[in-house]
Amino acid sequence: MPGGVNSPVRAFKSVGGQPIFMDSVKGSHMWDIDGNEYIDYVGSWGPAIIGHADDEVLEALAETMKKGTSFGSPCLLESVLAEMVISAVPSIEMVRFVNSGTEACMGVLRLARTFTGREKIIKFEGCYHGHADPFLVKAGSGVATLGLPDSPGVPKATTSGTLTAPFNDIAAVESLFNSNEGEIAAIILEPAVGNSGFITPKPDFLEAIRRLTKENGALLIFDEVMTGFRLSYGGAQEYFGITPDLTTLGKVIGGGLPVGAYGGRREIMEMVAPAGPMYQAGTLSGNPLAMTAGIQTLKRLKAPGTYEYLDRITRELVQGILNAGKKTGHAICGGHIRGMFGFFFTEGPVHNFDDAKKSDAAKFVRFYQGMLREGVYFAPSQFEAGFTSLAHSPEDIQKTVAAAENVLSKI
């Protein structure tokens, strides 16, 4: 395996040492192959929002598995999950399931270009929308972690239509529209960034982006692969009160199994084959296991008090780490929304990727390794968001904050 892993950030290149090989997970905890236990704030990069290996999800998967793991034909479970997604997410009137967030973003980009008859797109520096060629421009996340400017092997022609702007910079977006009048098909963004660390939009940023797309005949795409069903049951668009034209989803709606989806207004989605001319397909799309896990996860998330609990424990976690940092004399800033959070070793504020890169990466390495020794597992990169779950207990939070103060006092 290249680098010994199947996804780059797992290799620990930015934090040093060898990657931890995990053996099992349950609730908010993980155990490695040597038997060491960790409080987990990666959550399989987001989907474990109700906790790892949830008993109800496992029981439902066992029953579904008796019927088969893949049909290659329609199944009822697809319709059940589709109805749940459509009823929850404000922008989605029709949905297409795929197998990953990358697939979802590939499909939605092709769809936006088909619907508008235009080719150019605007993305934001440090936002990651999967590893499709057009998106590997200032892509944050693993690309930033490894210090790669853009990936070799990506032809210039495939990124020539990709325009970039700093996140939270409306003037830069206006300038791009002015200099590319009538050519921009869509803006795609993470409404709350998770791939430059965790960065929230300024108060009027999303509203201004929505206005600009409407004025210029472009579509607005929210990449909610991370934020969907995590910031609220209706995603970031419900939380911020901004309805995009199209949305990509992943992570949570598969309950830990590989899944992705894209959806939006009916008139746009009816361009997708076989209803329309834009081709996209996938043998494992809508497979019964992923649909089952997604259905069970969304049922749990709909219960009263879910997001209030996530908000409470995540606030306690982040505030505790920030207080510990300041108490021990470190420059540190950070924040959260519901079950998603992040912090940087800089005074801040952090409004975009350039701000995030001012964080003390060497200090993060020492902090990260120290927290591992304390039995706390954060993402092995300064440029990744963290995630809490319904399985995280107040005791988990208290232990983590105490560990953070202990580590920060020594670095």
The pLDDT tens digits of the residues spanning 166-219 come to 999 999 999 999 999 999 999 999 999 999 999 999 999 999 999 999 999 999
Active site residue 251: yes
Active site residue 32: no
Do 350 and 256 share a structural domain?
no
Out of 40, 223, 245, 396, the active site residue is 223
User: What is the CATH number for 62?
Assistant: 3.40.640.10
Find the mean pLDDT for residues 306-325: 98
Residue 358, H or E segment: none
Alpha-carbon distance of 126 to 385, in angstroms, equals: 12
Do 22 and 108 share a structural domain?
no
Mean pLDDT of the chain: 94
Do 6 and 61 share a structural domain?
no
88-97, 120-129, 223-232: range with lowest mean pLDDT: 120-129
Q: How confident is the model at residue 148 (pLDDT cuts 50, 70, 90)?
A: very low
Do 252 and 150 share a structural domain?
yes
Do 200 and 340 share a structural domain?
no
How many domains is the chain partitioned into structurally?
2
Q: Which of 89, 157, 102 is nearest to 280 (CA)?
A: 102
Out of 251, 355, 368, 377, the active site residue is 251
Out of 41, 128, 233, 368, the active site residue is 128
Alpha-carbon distance of 399 to 373, in angstroms, equals: 13
Does the structure show a pLDDT above 90 at 9? no
Compute how many other C-beta atoms are within 10 angstroms of the C-beta atom of residue 200. 21
Task: Write out the residue range of the structural domain in which residue 239 sits.
Answer: 55-302
* 59 burial via Cβ count (<10 Å: 0-12, 13-18, 19+): exposed
21-30, 135-144, 278-287, 364-373: range with lowest mean pLDDT: 135-144
Alpha-carbon distance of 297 to 295, in angstroms, equals: 5
Active site residue 223: yes
What are the tens digits of pLDDT across the range 58-81?
999 999 999 999 998 999 999 999
Alpha-carbon distance of 163 to 8, in angstroms, equals: 25
Do 250 and 329 share a structural domain?
no
Please give the model's pTM, rounded to 2 decimal places. Answer: 0.94
Do 25 and 123 share a structural domain?
no
Q: Which of 250, 252, 226, 254 is nearest to 61 (CA)?
A: 254
What are the tens digits of pLDDT across the range 100-146?
999 999 999 999 999 999 999 999 998 999 888 888 876 555 554 44
Do 385 and 280 share a structural domain?
no
